[in-house]
């Protein structure tokens, strides 16, 4: 085929993609046509020539991953997925942004085949991609041997100016350079326009020098329509295996439209007349919508054939790999299928009741006890490993050896948790990130994103209350528990002791959903597992520890459970019979049937809750006539026992409240 004919076919296939996006936005009267018009050549090149994937098996484990970090350009991605042969029929493009469609306004993992992670909040797709690349590098180090390479793929990202303005992009890019993620390739849509106008209003930094300082390879493509220059840059990026790559691509937002090069084309439909004019400008039939010429579809159809061939070749080589390394092959099959090893839970420790243990320390014991039977567990802390106790004692650091399971994320809480979501989305690994609970504020949006996409992400928070003492109100979480409990699909765990902690770890690994743990810095009394069946009862979210009678119900979480146990003893001596309830998880409790819920909180029994945090949310359980003891103010700097006493988080406060309540 002549160069001229190939160029014509390329342009036809690119314009087919452009106008699927434009027509989808126009039909919805909502969306973002500017980026699809400018970036269609990038998507076309990636999907038709560069990336390794099989649209008929979108979860093939060794596929290349593509992340649209500037998720508002979703119409571009949906058009590419449709044309490339994914199960996304034209009717779905026509239902763009409509109720029940598989083409939501921003890409959502699990909603659309071919969408690797949920994106939209700018910068998070970029950071999740760092997690995808971490996962690939670790799994390649674990599984690849000799000439067998079952793990060998790249992560490609399309991002915009907004992604790089967000602070999370700095955290993630710095980490990626430090970890030498050479298979991460970011194409930056450098179109000089943001929603408010030219980027010179707010974004004048030298992006090239910035990323070079992060130890990235940086290239510049001066014309986003130049497929040869784009391909050469991508191939050069793939050749540099020790540095992540940023390719700056100068595009024209809204290319071909009368609004091209302005912010007016960013976030609203072009309108009927401007759509016609854009089609005229690019030689497209004005009277046709959702039109794909046969010649253009024929170009895209090759993706299916190419992808199927690549996948079948991999499968053949993988069978040879399994013959050579049967144990690793079985582990790879198991972990990529998100299955835990049979009998792994038998190594969950049971703690003796004669020794107090901080729940953060109990967590470390559990992690290391199961390390060998759950090799897919990987993660680290935001420069707080010695405090959060989240480290594998018998594993190397990922930075020194990618086989290592200890990732030192640095002081990058937001970037860390977004990367954790990316690792989870990759498959084959169960990731965690950890920091102090008060710093969950820094990464809350990533926690929400993990919950939204049902990531098997574990967020481990320690120093969970005013019980940390002297560090004072800046480090003492107050509103955090209730705030995170309000996030749909996020499982909350605040264990009362070492045995509840062990049970929570088991549940977090089994549930395959986003979960967070709030763990104590201070030692807590250990519950007798035989007496209270802690490991079994924790699964119910709330359970009865002591039942002296039903004059009053006392319920608490975490470190405050020991306080209500003490309060119940004091009340008994005063002739008041209390039922003591430990409630390690609101979400698990709400999943129980109504009969069980009523067995814990029966109608007509006065109830008092105690939790060293905001009281909002407790009224559901204590009722209008109950009492919620907590903190609706900030903490204070002093030794922990004094802070707790002064702020009324104590057995004494519960006893006084019970006596007052029962006098009514």
Report, as residue numbers or ranges, the catalytic residues. 413
CB 582 within 8 A of CB 496: yes
Helix (H, G, I), strand (E, B) or coil at 288: coil
Distances (CA, A) of 392 to 72, 133, 221, 406, 518: 39, 21, 43, 6, 20
Q: How many residues does this entry show for the chain? A: 664
The rounded distance, in Å, linking the Cα atoms of 439 and 480 is 9
Can you point out the beta strands (E) in 35-182?
A: 65-68, 155-160
CB 198 within 8 A of CB 192: yes
Residue 660, both tokens: 């007052």
Q: What is the DSSP string of 100-112?
A: T-S--SS--TTTS
Distances (CA, A) of 491 to 137, 584, 601: 29, 11, 21
What secondary structure letter does DSSP report for 642? H
| Chain CA centroid to CA 316, Å | 33
| Closest among 563, 553, 485 to 518, alpha carbons compared | 485
619 half-sphere exposure, CB direction, 13 A CA radius? 5
The rounded distance, in Å, linking the Cα atoms of 230 and 244 is 17
| Closest among 129, 131, 132, 151 to 141, alpha carbons compared | 151
The rounded distance, in Å, linking the Cα atoms of 357 and 523 is 5
What secondary structure letter does DSSP report for 265? G
Please give, one letter per residue, the 3-state secondary structure of 489-528: CCEEECCCCHHHHHHHHHHHHHHCCCEEEECCCCEECCCC
The rounded distance, in Å, linking the Cα atoms of 183 and 133 is 6
What secondary structure letter does DSSP report for 48? I
Long-range CB pairs of 566-573 (<8 Å, 24+ gap) are 566/651, 567/651, 567/652, 567/654, 567/655, 567/658, 570/651, 570/655, 571/655, 571/658, 571/659, 572/548
Q: Are strands 543-547 and 578-582 parallel, antiparallel or unpaired?
A: antiparallel
**For residue 535, how many other CB atoms are within 10 A of its CB?**
18
Q: Angle between the 124-143 and 167-178 helix axes, to the nearest 10 degrees?
A: 20
Q: Angle between the 272-281 and 3-28 helix axes, to the nearest 10 degrees?
A: 180
**Buried-state track 294-330, b at ≥16 Cβ within 10 A, e below 16:** eebeebbeebeebbeebbeebeeebeebbeebeebbe
Q: Angle between the 294-324 and 3-28 helix axes, to the nearest 10 degrees?
A: 100
The rounded distance, in Å, linking the Cα atoms of 527 and 535 is 10
Give the position of tokens 């939204």.
452
Please give, one letter per residue, the 3-state secondary structure of 518-566: ECCCCEECCCCHHHHCHHHHHHHCCEEEEECCCCEEEEECHHHHHHHHH
CA angle centred on 468, ends 414 and 627, rounded to 5°: 95
**Buried-state track 598-610, b at ≥16 Cβ within 10 A, e below 16:** eebbeeeebbbbb
């Amino acid at each position: 085929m002549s160069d001229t004919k190939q160029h014509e076919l390329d342009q036809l296939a690119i314009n087919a993609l452009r106008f699927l996006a434009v027509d989808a936005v126009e039909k919805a009267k909502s969306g973002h046509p500017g980026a699809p018009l400018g970036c269609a050549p990038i998507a076309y090149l990636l999907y038709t020539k560069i990336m390794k994937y099989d649209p008929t098996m979108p979860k093939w484990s060794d596929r290349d991953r593509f992340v649209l970090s500037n998720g508002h350009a979703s119409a571009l991605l949906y058009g590419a997925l449709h044309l490339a042969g994914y199960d996304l029929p034209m009717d779905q493009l026509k239902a763009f942004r409509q109720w029940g469609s598989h083409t939501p306004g921003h890409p959502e993992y699990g909603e659309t085949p071919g969408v690797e992670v949920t994106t939209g909040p700018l910068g998070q797709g970029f950071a999740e991609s760092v997690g995808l690349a971490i996962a690939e590098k670790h799994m390649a180090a674990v599984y690849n041997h000799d000439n067998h390479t079952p793990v060998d793929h790249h992560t490609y990202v399309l991002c915009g100016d907004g992604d790089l303005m967000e602070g999370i992009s700095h955290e993630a890019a710095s980490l990626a350079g430090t970890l030498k993620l050479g298979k991460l390739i970011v194409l930056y849509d450098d179109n000089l326009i943001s929603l408010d106008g030219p980027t010179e209003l707010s974004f004048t930094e030298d992006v090239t020098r910035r990323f070079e300082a992060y130890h990235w390879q940086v290239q510049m493509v001066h014309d986003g329509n130049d497929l040869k220059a784009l391909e050469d840059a991508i191939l050069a990026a793939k050749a540099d295996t020790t540095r992540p790559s940023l390719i700056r691509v100068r595009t024209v937002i809204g290319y071909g439209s009368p609004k091209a090069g302005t912010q007016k084309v960013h976030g609203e439909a072009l309108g009927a007349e401007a759509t016609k004019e854009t089609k005229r400008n690019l030689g497209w039939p004005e009277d046709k919508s959702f039109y794909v010429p046969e010649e253009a579809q024929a170009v895209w159809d090759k993706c299916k054939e190419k992808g199927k061939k690549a996948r079948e070749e991999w499968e053949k080589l993988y069978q040879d790999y399994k013959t050579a390394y049967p144990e690793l092959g079985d582990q790879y099959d198991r972990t990529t299928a998100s299955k835990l090893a049979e009998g792994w839970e038998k190594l969950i420790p049971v703690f003796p009741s004669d020794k107090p243990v901080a729940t953060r320390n109990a967590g470390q014991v559990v992690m290391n006890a199961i390390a060998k039977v759950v090799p897919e567990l990987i993660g680290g802390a935001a420069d707080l490993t010695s405090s959060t106790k989240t480290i594998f004692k018998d594993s190397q650091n990922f930075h020194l050896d990618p086989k290592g399971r200890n990732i030192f994320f640095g002081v990058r809480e937001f970037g860390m948790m977004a990367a954790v979501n990316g690792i989870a989305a990759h498959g084959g690994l169960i990731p965690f990130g950890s920091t102090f609970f008060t710093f969950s504020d820094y990464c809350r949006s990533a926690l929400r994103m993990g919950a939204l996409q049902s990531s098997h992400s574990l967020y481990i928070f320690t120093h969970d209350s005013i019980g940390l003492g002297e560090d004072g109100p800046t480090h003492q979480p107050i509103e955090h528990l209730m705030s995170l409990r309000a996030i749909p699909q996020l499982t909350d765990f605040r264990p009362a002791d070492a045995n509840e902690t062990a049970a929570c770890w088991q549940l977090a690994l089994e549930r395959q959903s986003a979960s967070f743990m709030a763990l104590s810095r201070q030692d807590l009394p250990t519950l007798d597992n035989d007496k209270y069946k802690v490991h079994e009862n924790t699964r119910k979210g709330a359970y009865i520890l002591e039942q002296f009678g039903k004059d009053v119900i006392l319920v608490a979480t975490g470190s405050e459970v020991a306080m209500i146990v003490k309060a119940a003893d004091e009340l008994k001596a005063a002739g008041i019979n209390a039922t003591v309830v430990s409630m390690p998880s609101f979400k698990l409790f709400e999943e129980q049937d109504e009969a069980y819920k009523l067995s814990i909180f029966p109608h007509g029994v006065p109830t008092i809750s105690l939790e060293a945090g905001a009281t909002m949310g407790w009224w559901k359980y204590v009722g209008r006539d109950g009492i919620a003891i907590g903190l609706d103010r900030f903490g204070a700097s002093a030794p922990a026992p004094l802070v707790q006493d002064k702020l009324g988080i104590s057995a004494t406060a519960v006893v006084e409240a019970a006596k007052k309540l029962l006098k009514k």
